[in-house]
Amino acid sequence: MRKTAWAILGALLLVAASGLADDQPRVAPPPLRSEAPTLQPSPNHVWIPGYWKWAGINYEWADGRWVKAKKNRVWVPGTWEQVGSRWAWKPGKWAKPEAAKPKAKKPPKNKKSE
């Protein structure tokens, strides 16, 4: 009887704890860590920097790594963006070099006063 009660209590605590885990955090990620890349495996490899990933109840660091470069593509790192009161992860991706450049904002048109 006691073992059954403890098992039920343990199961309820696990369910309650899993309910606290969230897909999107409410707090910003910590500052990025400074990483020292290891020796480049070949000239065809590109360093992908590490990032903070959300693990349900806290952030965990994902180490940077070397990956084979994709032809005519550059790596655009992922970013955390605030959406309302939550933070959403926008994963990194391979992009064409011109698409990876920040777009220049056009100055607003001034209306001439008469």
pLDDT digits (tens, 9 = 90+) for 36-77: 999 999 999 999 999 999 999 999 999 999 999 999 999 999
Cα–chain center distance at 32: 11
Examine residue 58 and state whether it is found in any structural domain, yes or no. yes
Full domain range(s) for residue 73: 24-100
Assigned token pair, 6: 């403890």
Nearest to 32 by CA among 52, 14, 17: 52
Query: What's the mean pLDDT in 82-94?
Result: 96
Examine residue 109 and state whether it is found in any structural domain, yes or no. no
Examine residue 54 and state whether it is found in any structural domain, yes or no. yes
Beta bridge partners of 32: none
Examine residue 69 and state whether it is found in any structural domain, yes or no. yes
Nearest to 75 by CA among 34, 47, 44, 38: 47
What total number of domains does the chain contain?
1
Beta bridge partners of 74: 95
Share of the chain above pLDDT 70, in %: 68
For all residues of the chain together, what is the average pLDDT? 83
Indicate the pLDDT class of residue 25, thresholds 50, 70 and 90: very high
